[in-house]
């Protein structure tokens, strides 16, 4: 028996060194939050976890049945076409036409993705060289940073401030930055601030991008979730949007299909072609059965989507009713399934989140995890029942922080 088999701890014969890119990947801030929550749960505490963004209700039954039927089809047991089945791209184009009045060519303006996050990480790699500059919202979704690190690109942050409705102020971006920037991320309805963007903002965005040669990457992950009878606006609804950028959409939030990993990139033909080319070298598209189920989700009755949005709106109303009772003043979200709440005086976002977890057994996400301008806020997910949301507000109220 050799030494390596005798020793249960396997060791490499020589040092295994990560590449430079691996050492530059950003720290996953929310992994620490998950660890803290799990410690409290393991200790036997009843934690109300409002810190994550994972949909809490199942995928609608008709979509599951479509997958079950498609899984038995021998056609889907083979490799899918590298760029995906045309029937799914047609379904995507039809849904965008019905919902937003946007016309898309299924063959040239739609790319199928392994979830929306994949496209967000891919686009810096297809457009940016090492040292190139990207405009990034602050606060914003941390995985934008991951794609930029993989591309060895640089970031310039666009502050999202309450005074400007959590929209970037293009006029405040220095000319030197505008000249260098090649890519810009936007995300409305916004994670984490829950703000929405009007069409006029996207019209200004198209002009700004065209004038400065900046590609727009619109992250429309929460595109179906708008409250008070208002449907969120798509970037692609702005005239000229396809000439300057693409939009990323996912079925994760709209149809509670987070684990299915189905997303799309839509818009500019050259960018779509490059995404497909990169993916040709990495994947052989999604399992055909999942593509069939995704097409069913997009083309069948959208009653399930309307019911989902109403559920989140009812939860929002119940939660903010509880916040009003304890004196925690905050603006109600316009879209997404998040709330963006100011922390009380004397606390940082991290220290306040720790206090809520330790003393109220309520988990929230500290705003600092989304960027420097997230400080002073916490993000709360509306991803549990109305009763649990009201209970969370009651527990927080017992700490008497808002008297």
| Helix (H/G/I), strand (E/B), else coil: 185 | strand
List of the chain residues with pLDDT < 70: 1-8
Classified as helix, coil or strand, 212 is helix
User: What pLDDT, on the 0 to 100 scale, is given for residue 385?
Assistant: 96
Residue boundaries of the structural domains of the chain: 20-58+304-397, 61-299
| pLDDT confidence of residue 124 | 96
* Secondary structure (H, E, C), 11-80: CCCCCCCCCHHHHCCCCCHHHHHHHHHHHHHHCCCCCEECCCCCCCCCCCHHHHHHHHHHHCCHHHHCCC
As a residue count, the chain comes to 403
Asked if CATH classification 3.90.1150.10 holds for the domain at 20-58+304-397, the reply, yes or no, is yes
pLDDT score, position 31 = 80
Pick the CATH number of 61-299 from 3.40.640.10, 1.25.40.10, 2.160.20.60, 1.10.287.90: 3.40.640.10
Q: For position 6, what pLDDT does the model report?
A: 56
pLDDT of residue 209: 98
The pTM is what?
0.93
Q: Give 91: exposed, middle or buried? Use CB within 10 Å, 0-12, 13-18, 19+.
A: buried
């Amino acid at each position: 028996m050799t030494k390596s088999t005798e020793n249960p701890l396997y060791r490499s014969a020589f040092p295994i060194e990560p590449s430079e890119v691996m050492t530059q990947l950003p720290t996953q801030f929310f992994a620490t939050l998950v660890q803290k929550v799990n410690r409290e749960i393991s200790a036997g505490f009843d934690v109300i976890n409002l810190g994550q963004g994972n949909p809490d209700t199942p995928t609608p039954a008709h979509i599951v049945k479509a997958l079950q039927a498609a899984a038995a089809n021998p056609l889907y047991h083979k490799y899918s076409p590298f760029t995906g089945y045309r029937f799914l791209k047609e379904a995507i184009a039809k849904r965008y036409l019905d919902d937003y009045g946007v016309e898309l060519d299924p063959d040239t303006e739609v790319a199928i993705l392994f979830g929306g996050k994949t496209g967000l990480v891919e686009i810096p790699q297809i457009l940016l060289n090492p040292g190139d500059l990207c405009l990034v919202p602050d606060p914003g979704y941390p995985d934008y940073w991951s794609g930029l690190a993989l591309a060895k690109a640089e970031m310039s942050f666009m502050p999202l401030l309450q005074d400007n409705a959590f929209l970037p102020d293009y006029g405040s971006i220095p000319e030197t930055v505008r000249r260098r920037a090649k890519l810009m991320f936007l995300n409305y309805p916004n994670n984490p601030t829950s703000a929405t963007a009007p069409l006029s903002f996207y019209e200004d965005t198209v002009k700004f991008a065209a004038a400065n040669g900046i590609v727009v990457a619109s992250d429309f992950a929460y595109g179906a979730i708008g409250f008070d009878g208002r449907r969120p606006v798509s970037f692609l609804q702005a005239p000229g949007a396809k000439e300057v950028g693409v939009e990323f959409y996912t079925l994760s939030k709209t149809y509670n299909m987070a684990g299915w990993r189905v997303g799309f990139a839509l818009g500019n033909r050259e960018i779509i072609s490059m995404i497909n080319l990169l993916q040709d070298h990495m994947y052989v598209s999604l399992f055909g059965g999942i593509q069939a189920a995704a097409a069913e989700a997009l083309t069948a009755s959208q009653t399930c989507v309307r019911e989902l949005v109403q559920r989140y709106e009812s939860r929002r109303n119940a939660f903010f009713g509880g916040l009003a009772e304890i004196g925690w003043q905050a603006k109600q979200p316009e879209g997404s399934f998040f709330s963006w709440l100011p922390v009380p005086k004397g606390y940082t976002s991290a220290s306040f989140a720790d206090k809520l977890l330790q003393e109220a057994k309520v988990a929230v996400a500290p705003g600092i995890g989304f960027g420097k301008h997230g400080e002073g806020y916490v993000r709360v997910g509306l991803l549990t029942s109305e009763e649990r949301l009201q209970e969370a507000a009651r527990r927080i109220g017992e700490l008497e922080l808002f008297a």
